[in-house]
Copies of this chain bind each other. A is one copy, B any other.
Amino acid sequence: MSLLIVGSVALDSVATPFKSVENALGGSTTYISLAAGYFTGPVHIVGVVGEDFPKKYLDLLESHNVDLTGLQIVPGGKTFRWAGKYHYDLNTRDTLLTELNVFEKFDPVIPEKLRKSQYLCLGNIDPELQLKVLDQMENPHFVVCDTMNYWIEGKKDELLKVLKRVNVLIINDSEARLLAHEPNLIKAARIIKEMGAEILIVKKGEHGALLFMDDIIFSAPAYPLEMINDPTGAGDTFAGGFIGYLHKVQDVSPESIKRAVIYGSAMASFTVEEFSTKALENLSYLQIQDRYREFLTISRIDEEIE
């Protein structure tokens, strides 16, 4: 019953009004697997980096329950690089650079032993690649998928094919509105669920997240952070906490899915407190449980009706 993550591994240069970092560890697979590794392991990944990818980052991933067997290191190749600059309120950013490098020809070949993985997380990559991954899998039990506006606008047909083959789609609110062509988020959710994925999670940044599953709508609060340093990777971290928790408990009932949404939110709340993956490098499971409990407290109310 292993867990497989497929997506990007990158070197990120991020500037915010407070600080900048260069060539920091980034990429969807990185955040997803680091977050999932706090709940379960080994977390298998399939991805590609160049020869320039620092050994310290490989060591970091390995020390966090991440199995690197499926990570191709292209001799002489350069790792995918992304650079972005956040605006004053940290809610918007400009992409300054996208250098695909070895990621441009990324052909996700799933090693034989990982094709039987029962839990699969498709990071935010080209839907064509997501389909290629799905084609290689042998009847996975639970598939989670992320995407973004770029693919919704540019590869909608392929994305719709992906949605018919996954259990969970995780997107943000503006992506949900774009995908459904509908400004009302609740209507948009219904439209998207009809596209395929039976579970939809809409991330709303500082406003928390919404889960749509069967007839259930579950609203997860946001953690009241006074200091957000770097929003990069928050969504990927959410997906990692979400699938990591579910893989740990081996249960995808509505109650477990709700808890997974809170664990995903808790992990994301750590990530944004520091730059790059820093906050995910030295957490304890106790800290994660504490934050999970804080999330429950934020929306807890006695149910007496007067």
**A residues within 8 Å of B by Cβ?**
88-91, 183-187, 190, 204, 206-208, 210, 217-222, 224-228, 245, 248-249, 255, 258-259, 262, 289, 292-293, 296, 298-299, 301-306
Q: A219 — which chain B residues lie within 8 A by C-beta?
A: 208, 221-222, 298-299
User: How long is the Cα–Cα vector from A306 to B303 in the complex, in angstroms?
Assistant: 24
User: How long is the Cα–Cα vector from A210 to B302 in the complex, in angstroms?
Assistant: 17
| A184 and B226 in contact, given A207-B204, A289-B305, A305-B292 (Cβ under 8 angstroms) | yes
Q: Say which residue of B262, B292, B296, B301 sits within 8 Å of A296 (CB atoms).
A: B301
User: How long is the Cα–Cα vector from A303 to B298 in the complex, in angstroms?
Assistant: 13
Q: Would you list the 8 A-B pairs with minimal beta carbon distance, nearest first?
A: A219-B221, A207-B207, A89-B183, A299-B299, A186-B224, A186-B226, A219-B298, A217-B224
Q: A88 — which chain B residues lie within 8 A by C-beta?
A: 183
Q: Is A248's CB under 8 angstroms from B289's CB?
A: no
Q: Is A306's CB under 8 angstroms from B89's CB?
A: no
19 cross-chain CB contacts under 8 A:
A89-B183, A90-B183, A184-B225, A184-B226, A186-B224, A190-B226, A204-B207, A210-B224, A217-B224, A219-B298, A219-B299, A220-B299, A221-B221, A248-B306, A255-B302, A259-B302, A293-B303, A293-B305, A296-B301
User: How long is the Cα–Cα vector from A225 to B186 in the complex, in angstroms?
Assistant: 7
Distance to closest chain B CB from A115 (angstroms) = 28
| A228 and B184 in contact, given A218-B298, A301-B296, A305-B293 (Cβ under 8 angstroms) | yes
| A226 and B187 in contact, given A207-B207, A248-B306 (Cβ under 8 angstroms) | yes
User: How long is the Cα–Cα vector from A206 to B208 in the complex, in angstroms?
Assistant: 12
Distance to closest chain B CB from A139 (angstroms) = 26
Residue of chain B at shortest CB distance from A89? B183
Residue of chain B at shortest CB distance from A206? B185
Q: A204 — which chain B residues lie within 8 A by C-beta?
A: 207
| A301 and B259 in contact, given A207-B208, A208-B219, A226-B190 (Cβ under 8 angstroms) | yes
Distance to closest chain B CB from A189 (angstroms) = 8
Q: A218 — which chain B residues lie within 8 A by C-beta?
A: 298-299, 301
- Having A184-B225, A218-B301, A255-B302, one finds 16 other A-B pairs with CB under 8 Å, namely A90-B183, A184-B226, A185-B206, A187-B226, A190-B226, A207-B207, A218-B298, A219-B221, A219-B298, A220-B299, A255-B301, A258-B301, A259-B301, A293-B303, A296-B301, A296-B303
